[in-house]
Chains A and B, each alone.
Chain A
Amino acid sequence: MIRPDAELLLDITDLHASVEDQPILKGVNLQVRSGEIHAVMGRNGSGKSTLSKVLAGHPAYRVTSGTVLYRGENLFELEAEERARLGVFLGFQYPVEIPGVSNLEFLRVATNARRLKRNLEELDTFDFEDHVQERLKVVQMDPAFLERSVNEGFSGGEKKRNEILQMALLEPVVAILDETDSGLDIDALRIVAGGVNQLANADNATLLITHYQRLLDEITPDYVHVMASGRILRTGGRELALELEQTGYDWVDKELAAQGVA
């Protein structure tokens, strides 16, 4: 929801980033305020995941120019773990499996790292069990998944629910959800979207990266951005998403050609 007294949470200015010396982001500008839900759309390879990883601090991505302020602070001066503790959350497009590390223990350590930063009491194993049981409901997840290794042998949909469970536990300020809808059947999509809606409030913001309009049927964005060739090419309201569904991305090529960018 767009609010007049909102806080500027994320302020991205002319962001350029490379991976393996290959420029991927070529001047991203984006402002995200509290209470808002943004959708970032665009074709495969347009740089959406790169943007999300740069924001979360993945070491393989090198920022070559531009700035990102998170609540007024230079995001790039913070280690990935510090960003997370301060409330930046990335829901991965492809969550990795971590054999041998108990999901429950992982969730507890992560939750406590964030709580410590918020001056909240750390939760011991018993308190955490209660705490997590309640959050499981947000994604209607079977508690049996807590006993397994992080994401190990989870189906695509189960991994995505585990991501939203983490979001529910970490209570981020800015949540970036990278294609959380892909690989989900319609029931699972509703559950995940319901979870995201439940967690969104006036003090936080959500950045939904998606290919499909169908997620936006469940979660109503305040803004829709179209990414192409490492930039945000166009920004509009939710009607832009509907338009994209009808017309596809062909206009993008024309616009890029007109701007002299291939």
Chain B
Amino acid sequence: MTSTSTRDLVSQPYKYGFVTDIETDKIEKGLSEEVVRLISSKKDEPEFLLNFRLKAFRHWLTLEEPDWAALGYEAIDYQNIIYYAAPKQQAKKASLDEVDPKLLETFEKLGIPLSEQKRLSNVAVDAVFDSVSIATTYREKLAEHGVVFCSFTEAVKDHPELIERYLGSVVSSNDNYFAALNSAVFSDGSFVFIPKGVECPMELSTYFRINSGDTGQFERTLIVAEEGASVSYLEGCTAPMFDTNQLHAAVVELVVLDDASIKYSTVQNWYAGDENGVGGIYNFVTKRGQCRGARSRISWTQVETGSAITWKYPSCVLQGADSVGEFYSVALTNNCQQADTGTKMIHIGPRTRSTIVSKGISAGRSSNSYRGLVQMGPRAKGARNYSQCDSMLIGDQAAANTYPYIRSQQPQAAIEHEASTCRISEDQLFYLQSRGIGFEEAVSMMVSGFCRDVFNQLPMEFAAEADKLLALKLEGSVG
């Protein structure tokens, strides 16, 4: 596009880029069996968990970092990362009043007030700062319904039998390079357990904040919905601006039994690096849900706007008969960001159904790839998949790719795939402008129109946020 007036628009600075000055307990850089043992002992973990970590670590040593994604980045030096950092406050506080005010202030600045007076009225929040969870709101209220919502560390202490039963049962510790790494060194994260027949009375949400510049963040999230249970869960994340890259390698496991459902939404806004690609988070995440029970349902909705590198494929293993998997994704890349993201829908049970709606938006010099697998196993009789992958290009230097993989061993399964690519044209923008609509608003109207099918899936409170976030991210990118 040729308009120069628009090229001058200043990019909105990343408003979550501040660093909280707080004393932290960090261990030495580097990764070894000693470090894995140290993390486990710092957390005073039971034997089974130490063994889980060690097995993962030993396996990780035998693996090579994957290179099949359409991503280019300098080799990560795993010995130059700190694997454990925690704000120096004594253990987890019984009440919020005892939490370091600097931490509460940090979350308030991020729009996540935690105090009794200010906290969101219908969302329970687990706030994770660097490697540890500092507070979880509404725990008592949720407990009345039998819902467990707490940090992973607490879950290990209070519900070791659930952790032992479910941890690694969906994403095994040797699943892939980054999952193995996470399994060895994960520090904290969230645990959710919705007992049989319970519909979780409020939205649950975890907010991840990276603060240190040299620390990797490895969280672990485990959500279990027993028979007939249901929950809607949202995760958000931000990080300060550093001119170095931070590694974030998380694992999320979802387990859904008969007639249960989990709706998992993500608004990912890690620091993306500057306009020349300096700094930013390397985001290598393994997310997978298992629909174990009949008629169970997992719905992933993600809005990926941050990170220098995104490598992420939230997937569904559709084991139970008539189970349903959904993946709704908006991935936006600008400047030098690279995203390789998509999903895997593994149809095992009969009449399982999956829907994939992926919207990739690439601006600047960024690269945005959709990579998805739809697999129909021999027992998946009558299974169906519908996939729709749309790309939108902004400017003429961005790249979009689609890599759909289809494997079917079941002749009576139906797979439907649609794809499209469009470009925001100068003429479309001019049309809107010539009706008095400002340039930025014009872009944002077109982008939100493009993303509507996905935004409609977000919990109401966050849909408007997502809209604004995209507009912000695109500021200055067109023209």
Asked if A81 and B445 make an inter-chain contact with CB atoms under 8 angstroms apart, the answer reads no
Give the chain A neighbours of B431 by CB distance below 8 A: 92, 95-96, 98, 150
Give the chain B neighbours of A85 by CB distance below 8 A: 436
Give the chain A neighbours of B441 by CB distance below 8 A: 109
Which of B422, B439, B449 sits near A101, CB closer than 8 Å? B449
User: B435-467 toward A: CB 8 Å interface, digit per residue (1/0)?
Assistant: 111110100011011101000000000000000
- A81 touching B449 in the complex, CB below 8 Å, given contacts A60-B2, A96-B425: no
Give Cα A127–Cα B11 distance, bound, in whole angstroms.
Answer: 35
Asked if B449 and A59 make an inter-chain contact with CB atoms under 8 angstroms apart, the answer reads no
In the complex, whether A100 has a CB less than 8 A from a CB of chain B is yes
Which of B4, B6, B449 sits near A100, CB closer than 8 Å? B449
Nearest CB of chain B from residue A178's CB, rounded to whole Å: 11
Asked if A114 and B436 make an inter-chain contact with CB atoms under 8 angstroms apart, the answer reads yes
- A59 touching B5 in the complex, CB below 8 Å, given contacts A96-B428, A100-B450, A101-B446: yes
In the complex, whether B275 has a CB less than 8 A from a CB of chain A is no
In the complex, whether A110 has a CB less than 8 A from a CB of chain B is yes
Give Cα A58–Cα B445 distance, bound, in whole angstroms.
Answer: 19
Asked if B432 and A98 make an inter-chain contact with CB atoms under 8 angstroms apart, the answer reads yes
Give the chain B neighbours of A58 by CB distance below 8 A: 430, 434
Give the chain A neighbours of B425 by CB distance below 8 A: 96
Give the chain A neighbours of B416 by CB distance below 8 A: none
Give Cα A101–Cα B449 distance, bound, in whole angstroms.
Answer: 5
Asked if A81 and B439 make an inter-chain contact with CB atoms under 8 angstroms apart, the answer reads yes
Asked if A102 and B439 make an inter-chain contact with CB atoms under 8 angstroms apart, the answer reads no
User: B398-435 toward A: CB 8 Å interface, digit per residue (1/0)?
Assistant: 00000000000000000000000010011110111111
Asked if B434 and A84 make an inter-chain contact with CB atoms under 8 angstroms apart, the answer reads yes
In the complex, whether A63 has a CB less than 8 A from a CB of chain B is no
Give the interface residue-count category, chain B: 20 to 34
Asked if B430 and A113 make an inter-chain contact with CB atoms under 8 angstroms apart, the answer reads no
Q: Which residue of chain A lies nearest to B450 when distances are taken between CB atoms in the complex?
A: A100
Give the chain A neighbours of B433 by CB distance below 8 A: 57, 79-81, 84
Nearest CB of chain A from residue B463's CB, rounded to whole Å: 15
In the complex, whether B90 has a CB less than 8 A from a CB of chain A is no
In the complex, whether B117 has a CB less than 8 A from a CB of chain A is no
Asked if A59 and B435 make an inter-chain contact with CB atoms under 8 angstroms apart, the answer reads no
Q: Which residue of chain A lies nearest to B435 when distances are taken between CB atoms in the complex?
A: A110
Which of B430, B432, B445 sits near A59, CB closer than 8 Å? B430
Nearest CB of chain B from residue A167's CB, rounded to whole Å: 10
Asked if B430 and A98 make an inter-chain contact with CB atoms under 8 angstroms apart, the answer reads no
Which of A84, A99, A149 sits near B435, CB closer than 8 Å? A84
User: A49-88 toward B: CB 8 Å interface, digit per residue (1/0)?
Assistant: 0000000111110000000000000000001110111000
Give the chain A neighbours of B446 by CB distance below 8 A: 98, 100-101
Nearest CB of chain B from residue A156's CB, rounded to whole Å: 16
Nearest CB of chain B from residue A215's CB, rounded to whole Å: 22
In the complex, whether B121 has a CB less than 8 A from a CB of chain A is no
In the complex, whether A90 has a CB less than 8 A from a CB of chain B is yes
Give Cα A17–Cα B433 distance, bound, in whole angstroms.
Answer: 20
In the complex, whether A106 has a CB less than 8 A from a CB of chain B is yes
In the complex, whether B3 has a CB less than 8 A from a CB of chain A is yes
For the A-B complex, the count of residue pairs with Cβ-Cβ distances under 8 Å equals 86
Give the chain B neighbours of A56 by CB distance below 8 A: 430, 434
Give the chain A neighbours of B426 by CB distance below 8 A: 59-60
Give the chain A neighbours of B430 by CB distance below 8 A: 56-59, 80
Nearest CB of chain B from residue A197's CB, rounded to whole Å: 22
Give Cα A62–Cα B1 distance, bound, in whole angstroms.
Answer: 14
Q: Which residue of chain A lies nearest to B449 when distances are taken between CB atoms in the complex?
A: A100
Q: Which residue of chain A lies nearest to B1 when distances are taken between CB atoms in the complex?
A: A59
In the complex, whether A210 has a CB less than 8 A from a CB of chain B is no
Q: Which residue of chain A lies nearest to B438 when distances are taken between CB atoms in the complex?
A: A81
Q: Which residue of chain A lies nearest to B451 when distances are taken between CB atoms in the complex?
A: A100
In the complex, whether A166 has a CB less than 8 A from a CB of chain B is yes
In the complex, whether A174 has a CB less than 8 A from a CB of chain B is no
Asked if B449 and A149 make an inter-chain contact with CB atoms under 8 angstroms apart, the answer reads yes
- A101 touching B445 in the complex, CB below 8 Å, given contacts A96-B425, A96-B431: yes
Asked if A170 and B435 make an inter-chain contact with CB atoms under 8 angstroms apart, the answer reads yes
User: A110-125 toward B: CB 8 Å interface, digit per residue (1/0)?
Assistant: 1001100100000000
Give the chain B neighbours of A99 by CB distance below 8 A: 422, 449-450
Give the chain A neighbours of B435 by CB distance below 8 A: 81, 84, 106, 110, 113, 166, 170
Give Cα A81–Cα B3 distance, bound, in whole angstroms.
Answer: 14
Asked if B449 and A79 make an inter-chain contact with CB atoms under 8 angstroms apart, the answer reads no
Asked if A98 and B437 make an inter-chain contact with CB atoms under 8 angstroms apart, the answer reads no
Give the chain A neighbours of B432 by CB distance below 8 A: 98, 101, 106, 110
Nearest CB of chain B from residue A230's CB, rounded to whole Å: 21
Give Cα A231–Cα B434 distance, bound, in whole angstroms.
Answer: 24
Give the chain A neighbours of B6 by CB distance below 8 A: 59
Give Cα A252–Cα B345 distance, bound, in whole angstroms.
Answer: 67
Nearest CB of chain B from residue A55's CB, rounded to whole Å: 10
Give the chain B neighbours of A60 by CB distance below 8 A: 2, 426
Give the chain B neighbours of A96 by CB distance below 8 A: 425, 427-428, 431
Nearest CB of chain A from residue B360's CB, rounded to whole Å: 14
User: B277-308 toward A: CB 8 Å interface, digit per residue (1/0)?
Assistant: 00000000000000000000000000000000
Nearest CB of chain A from residue B422's CB, rounded to whole Å: 7
- A98 touching B428 in the complex, CB below 8 Å, given contacts A60-B2, A109-B441: yes
Which of B1, B434, B448 sits near A80, CB closer than 8 Å? B434
Give the chain B neighbours of A106 by CB distance below 8 A: 432, 435, 437, 445
Q: Which residue of chain B lies nearest to A90 when distances are taken between CB atoms in the complex?
A: B434
Give Cα A59–Cα B439 distance, bound, in whole angstroms.
Answer: 12
Give the chain A neighbours of B434 by CB distance below 8 A: 56-58, 80-81, 83-84, 89-90, 92
User: B1-18 toward A: CB 8 Å interface, digit per residue (1/0)?
Assistant: 111111000000000000
Give Cα A60–Cα B56 distance, bound, in whole angstroms.
Answer: 58
Give the chain B neighbours of A110 by CB distance below 8 A: 432, 435-437
Give Cα A79–Cα B432 distance, bound, in whole angstroms.
Answer: 12
Give the chain A neighbours of B438 by CB distance below 8 A: 81, 113
Give Cα A76–Cα B4 distance, bound, in whole angstroms.
Answer: 14
Q: Can you identify 20 A-B contacts, CB atoms within 8 angstroms?
A: A57-B433, A59-B2, A59-B430, A79-B433, A80-B433, A81-B435, A81-B438, A84-B434, A89-B434, A92-B434, A98-B432, A98-B446, A100-B450, A101-B445, A106-B435, A110-B435, A113-B438, A114-B436, A117-B436, A170-B436
B-side interface residues toward A, CB under 8 Å? 1-6, 422, 425-428, 430-439, 441, 445-446, 448-450, 452
Known pairs A102-B449, A110-B437. 8 more at Cβ < 8 A? A81-B439, A84-B435, A92-B434, A96-B431, A110-B436, A113-B435, A113-B436, A150-B431
Q: What are the nearest 8 A-B pairs in CB distance?
A: A100-B449, A113-B436, A59-B3, A110-B435, A84-B436, A80-B433, A101-B449, A85-B436
